[in-house]
Amino acid sequence: MLEREQAAIAATLLKGPDHLPAGLFAGDEAAVLRGLRVHANTISHARLVALEETFPRTRDYLGDAAFNRLSRSFVEGGGAEGLALFDIGRDFAGWLDDPLAADVARVEWAWLESYNAAEAAPLRLADLAGQDEAALLGTTVRLHSAARIVTLTSDAAPIVDSAFASGTAALLVARPDAEVRLFALHAADDAALDLAKEFSTLGNLIARLAEVHPDGGAAIAALIDAGAFERF
């Protein structure tokens, strides 16, 4: 019974008062509609606040007025339909026509995914100390559960963080410990990390890096230091 009532309320909120079964609420039709309107406005406001809190850099870049207009359009256009509050920003970047704003939003969503990802012990440089070359190259790793790679379609990196150089093509979002951190990626880093989405040895990753990177060993060390990998 309760599930049917909840489904009826949800259908009414999504599709309009014509979908409200007679007798579901006490009171005349006008009072019921006023109550539903208040409830819908409360939900809409909560969604707008959630978007503001999820995308602060995007909001700063666009300005409050433009961000509020776009986020309201996103919510009222069904972009958040059926999603919990912590998930409603999942498709927001794809709603933005400005490539810079879309990239900033994608980085911020990756940051949130990284923050909420499962705990996993990262591979540390200290874990490799004392190993001979064969053992080191044979060490099996995969991309850390909290690591995210964001390939940029615009020159958004300096907007995300002024420390990033113009022309940065990809960012690594990593959370080896409690803090989420961002790192600029070389094109070769991006390819190696993509390879590590499945199990790979450090030897294979260094070989992939060496194809286009001047120092594959130093590059893999930097990625390890960033917390990009789990060890298996």
Phi/psi for 80 (5° steps) reads: -105, 10
Could you report the per-residue pLDDT of 26-51, keeping only the tens digit for each?
555 555 445 555 444 555 557 777 88
Bridging pattern class, strands 200-201 and 140-143: antiparallel
pTM: 0.77
Q: What pLDDT does 64 receive? A: 93
% of the chain surpassing 90 pLDDT: 50
Q: What pLDDT does 147 receive? A: 96
Q: Which domains does the chain have, with CATH numbers?
A: 2-97 (no CATH), 118-231 (3.90.930)
> Is 232's pLDDT higher than 80?
no
Q: Which amino acid is at 218?
A: A
Of the pLDDT bands very low, low, confident and very high (cuts 50, 70, 90), residue 22 is: low
Closest among 23, 229, 29, 45 to 140, alpha carbons compared: 229
Tokens 């489904």 belong to 7
> Is 91's pLDDT higher than 80?
yes
Could you report the per-residue pLDDT of 162-177, keeping only the tens digit for each?
999 999 999 999 998 8
> Is 109's pLDDT higher than 80?
yes
For residues 24 and 124, give the distance between their C-alpha atoms in angstroms, rounded to a whole number.
59
For residues 153 and 156, give the distance between their C-alpha atoms in angstroms, rounded to a whole number.
8
% of the chain surpassing 70 pLDDT: 77
Closest among 36, 43, 105 to 70, alpha carbons compared: 105
For residues 207 and 201, give the distance between their C-alpha atoms in angstroms, rounded to a whole number.
10
Q: Residue 231 pairs with which residues in a beta bridge?
A: 141
> Is 86's pLDDT higher than 60?
yes
Q: What pLDDT does 82 receive? A: 65
User: Residue 120 burial (CB < 10 Å; 0-12/13-18/19+)?
Assistant: middle
Q: What pLDDT does 187 receive? A: 80
For residues 186 and 172, give the distance between their C-alpha atoms in angstroms, rounded to a whole number.
10
Of the pLDDT bands very low, low, confident and very high (cuts 50, 70, 90), residue 65 is: very high
Of the pLDDT bands very low, low, confident and very high (cuts 50, 70, 90), residue 127 is: very high
